[in-house]
Amino acid sequence: MTAPSTRPVRKRIGRKGGASDREPGVTTPRVRAAGDDRPRAPIRTRGLTKLYGDLVAVDHLDLEVQAGEIFGLLGQNGAGKTTTILMLLGLTEPTDGQARVVGLDPARRPLEVKRRVGYLPDAVGFYSDMSGRDNLRYTARLNRIERDEAEDVIDEALEQVGLTARADDSTDTYSRGMLQRLGIADALIKDPDVLILDEPTTAIDPLGVTEILELLRTLVRDRQMAILLSSHLLNQVQSVCDRIGIFSAGRLIGQGTMGELAARFGEDSAHIEAEIEPPADAGPERVREVLSAIPGVTKVTSRSIHGSTTWNVTVKPASDDARVRRAILAAATSTGLDLTSVRPIEPALEDIYRRAVERAAHGHARDVR
């Protein structure tokens, strides 16, 4: 499998395209006026609500996604993530509240929103009797990209997602991961400001997942686009997202960085990992004794792998984390311990998610701002 390219795809502005003969539903490329830049927060909602009869699918959602970040919507199936995405794309109207995508109201100006937003649904559909390249050519025609330019655009998108070597093969020979990467290339054809992905790594092998997540990081770095990613896979959300929103029963019960979510929903403790060996004339109990004597340390455990011992130190309160790390360095120096490394251990998103949902069920959770 070919890895995605790390070479940036150039930003294209001002493609040609007429408006008078526009076909209904066709995402005609935009021509942006000089000095017209994307909003600081290309995705913004206030009180966004969607009811289906008596069912509250999305309940007063306040959300902002910044340019140059990956924001993860985390929640189980049925939590309201997909309904939120449909409202952002103008594919269903909100019952109440408002949304702005690149400064536009998707309920009133859905076609203009679609021109500037790339969307990858959870189930990607392509013409199976056509090659990956021909599928992208079809998308380019729908977007009124001139033929000569389209070939360059397609080549760049295929290279960016790592599909150049398989571009001329029929898509019915593609794996699920390859189809997802082709879907990202398809979304990039119109040079979007925002990329929205609904469960992009479902049913993909671990290598394919790694490649897709690396591709998303590259897009944010090179294009400074805003990426909204919905998923129920906690480890993937934690590994790639700059900020995370936790969805439960239609409500956004917490949002922020991992540190902010940990402070809000985590235990009031921090964990530090240190690689320390005792002097030749002392045993591991000497290390335990030194670490346990540091104020704020409540628990010390160890494990040995291939002759190297790693110590896990629990600190309360969590705010003492940095002070205790400095104290470990000082204690190792003063007592002759061989300290190789010391670092904080990030809390597991799984634990944060579980506590957030439990608190929401009892009415104790509020959004993290």
Could you report the per-residue pLDDT of 196-212, keeping only the tens digit for each? 999 888 778 888 888 88
The contacts of residue 222 (CB under 8 Å, 6+ apart) are: 8, 9
Please say whether the beta carbons of 272 and 100 come within 8 A.
no
pTM: predicted TM-score of the whole model, two decimal places: 0.76
Asked whether the predicted pLDDT for residue 27 surpasses 70, the reply is: no
CATH fold for the domain made of 43-264: Rossmann fold (3.40.50)
**pLDDT of the residue at 205:** 82
Task: Report which of residues 318 and 157 the model is more confident about.
Answer: 157
**pLDDT of the residue at 23:** 38
Please say whether the beta carbons of 177 and 196 come within 8 A.
no
Around 18, how many Cα atoms within 13 Å sit in the side-chain half-sphere? Answer: 4
Task: Report which of residues 9 and 62 the model is more confident about.
Answer: 62
Per domain, the residue ranges of the chain are: 43-264, 267-346
Burial annotation 331-358 (CB, 10 A radius, 16+ → b, else e): bbeebebebeebebeebebeebbebbbe
| H or E element at residue 263 | helix 258-265
* CA distances in angstroms from 228 to 154, 200, 220, 325, listed in the order given: 23, 11, 11, 35
Q: Among candidates 199, 64, 53, which has minimal Cα distance to 124?
A: 199
Tracing tokens 């360059």 back to the chain, one arrives at 152
Could you report the per-residue pLDDT of 329-347, keeping only the tens digit for each? 999 999 999 999 999 988 8
Percent residues over pLDDT 70 in the chain: 88
Best CATH choice for the domain 267-346 from the list 3.30.460.20, 3.30.70.260, 2.30.110.10, 3.40.30.10: 3.30.70.260
